[in-house]
């Protein structure tokens, strides 16, 4: 465990040094100015490539090393096992959409937690840095920019982060503690912490728990990779869709809940549960149904003022409408 964490720290340092050195040479700028240079809009493509490359070294290398030296085959140690049914693929994609509900609610919940002014200032500064870095990687003007962004922000992170956190770290903690649920939660906390976003901490931790449950119950890393990819790709695509509207960009980045996502999420939720209860995916479906039920409660509590528009549809109106319906 200690050796793995030490190797991770070393890989991240080496990944940063190698990436920054390559970028410095490519852009012909001093090494100490790389971070500032990469934040410029004209260097978006370079920023995306640099971030993907650093992730491969920082997360991918430790996972590959552990898989190589662990007893068993290299591919099975990484969780590369066949998906047992096509239905599981559909369920996981639906889960990515239901997660949009939970993400918005938990983001708002985190913002409402009261802390001292110093902690609030620290959290706000941390979030500002995170948004600045994210904006530097999502300046998209064409379909080509969108494709590169999806590869760098959705495909690469989905693969290397799932190999690191779920296929490797989660398994190490399970072997060490003998408690799968504890290992899933600890891994999810570390997964969220590595993103350095305070106001998105609970959202990413919840995503990490779902990904951990999927991997634990299915024993294949392909499904967590798929869900992680869909989750990130939705975010990147949303930013591309509103690229010319600054207010909408802020809304997407702040994970504010919008009504059309609620509708999509609810539909996906019920389809998911119906599908999950009809096969061996039942226990995972039950876990996630309860998980999303909590998110629905959070939405009602956090967005009760926004949902007051429903009052116009009174029960009297419904009764009047139903009287006109014949069966």
Residue 114 lies in a domain: yes
Q: Does residue 316 lie within any of the structural domains?
A: no
Map residue 279 onto helix, strand or coil: coil
| Overall average pLDDT of the 165-169 stretch | 96
- Residues 66, 169 share a domain: no
Q: How far is CA 73 from CA 64, 69, 122, 297, 308, in A?
A: 12, 10, 45, 44, 56
Residue where one domain finishes, among candidates 55, 73, 91: 73
CA-to-CA distance for 20 and 30, rounded, in angstroms? 10
Q: How many domains, in total, are found in the chain?
A: 2
Considering 53, 73, 93, which residue would you say is the last residue of a domain?
73
Confidence class for position 259, pLDDT limits 50, 70, 90? very low
Examine the domain organization and report whether 86 and 60 are in the same domain: no
Q: Are residues 68 and 103 in the same domain?
A: no
Say if residue 111 is in the same domain as residue 4.
no
Handedness of CA 141, 145, 149, 155 (dihedral sign): positive
The reply to whether 250 and 125 lie within a common domain is yes
Cβ 54 vs Cβ 68: under 8 Å: no
Query: Could you give the 3-state DSSP secondary structure of residue 126?
Result: helix
In a domain, 317, yes or no: no
Element containing residue 263 per DSSP (H, E) = helix 259-276
Task: For residue 207, give both structure tokens.
Answer: 């995503």
- pLDDT value at residue 318: 36
Report pLDDT digits (tens) over 25-68: 888 888 788 878 887 888 888 888 888 999 999 999 999 999 99
Percent of the chain at pLDDT exceeding 90: 27
- pLDDT of 300 higher than 60: no
One domain for residues 126 and 274? yes
Answer yes or no: do 170 and 297 share one domain: yes
Judge if 142 and 269 occupy the same domain: yes
Q: Average of pLDDT values for 137-141?
A: 79
129/146 same-domain check:
yes
Q: Is residue 124 part of a domain?
A: yes
Q: Which domain holds residue 54?
A: 1-73
Residue 44 falls within a domain, yes or no?
yes
Return the top range by mean pLDDT from 86-95, 193-202, 220-229, 267-276: 220-229
- Co-location of 146 and 178 in the same domain: yes
Q: Which residues of 113-126 are buried (b: 16+ CB within 10 A; e: fewer)?
A: eeeeeeeeeebeee
State mean pLDDT over 237-249: 72
C-alpha–C-alpha distance, residues 114 and 228, integer Å:
30
65 and 164 co-located in one domain: no
**Residues 18-24: contacts with CB under 8 Å, at least 24 apart:** 18/53, 18/57, 19/50, 19/53, 19/54, 19/57, 20/50, 22/50, 22/53, 23/50
**From 157-161, 179-183, 274-278, the region with the lowest mean pLDDT:** 274-278
Whether 175 and 89 share a structural domain: yes
Residue 286 domain flag: yes
In a domain, 314, yes or no: no
Cβ contacts of 254 within 8 Å, gap of 6 or more: 107, 199
């Amino acid at each position: 465990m200690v050796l793995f964490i030490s190797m991770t720290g070393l890989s991240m340092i080496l990944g940063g040094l190698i990436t920054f050195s390559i970028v410095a040479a490519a852009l012909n700028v001093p090494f100490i100015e790389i971070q500032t240079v990469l934040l410029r809009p004209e260097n978006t493509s370079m920023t995306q490539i640099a971030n993907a490359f650093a992730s491969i070294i920082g997360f991918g290398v430790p996972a590959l090393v552990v898989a190589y030296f662990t007893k068993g085959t290299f591919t099975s140690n990484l969780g590369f096992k066949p998906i047992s049914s096509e239905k599981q693929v559909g369920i996981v994609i639906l889960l990515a959409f239901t997660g949009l509900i939970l993400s918005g609610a938990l983001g708002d919940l985190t913002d409402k937690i009261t802390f001292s002014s110093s902690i609030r200032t620290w959290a706000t500064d941390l979030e500002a840095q995170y948004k600045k870095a994210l904006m530097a990687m999502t300046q998209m003007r064409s379909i080509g920019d969108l494709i590169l962004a999806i590869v760098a922000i959705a495909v690469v992170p989905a693969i290397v982060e799932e190999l690191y956190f779920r296929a490797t770290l989660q398994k190490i903690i399970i072997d060490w503690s003998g408690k799968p649920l504890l290992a899933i939660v600890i891994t999810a906390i570390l997964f969220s912490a590595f993103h350095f976003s305070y106001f998105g901490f609970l959202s990413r931790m919840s995503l990490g728990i779902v990904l951990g449950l999927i991997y634990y119950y299915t024993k294949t890393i392909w499904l967590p990779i798929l869900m992680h990819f869909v989750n990130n790709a939705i975010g990147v695509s949303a930013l591309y869709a509103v690229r010319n509207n600054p207010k909408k960009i802020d809304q997407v980045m702040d994970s504010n809940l919008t009504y059309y996502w609620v509708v999509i999420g609810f539909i996906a939720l019920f389809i998911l549960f119906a599908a999950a209860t009809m096969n061996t995916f039942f226990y995972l479906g039950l876990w996630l149904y309860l998980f999303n039920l909590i998110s629905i409660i959070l939405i009602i509590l956090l967005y009760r003022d926004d949902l007051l528009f429903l009052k116009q549809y009174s029960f009297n109106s419904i009764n009047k409408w139903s009287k006109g319906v014949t069966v």
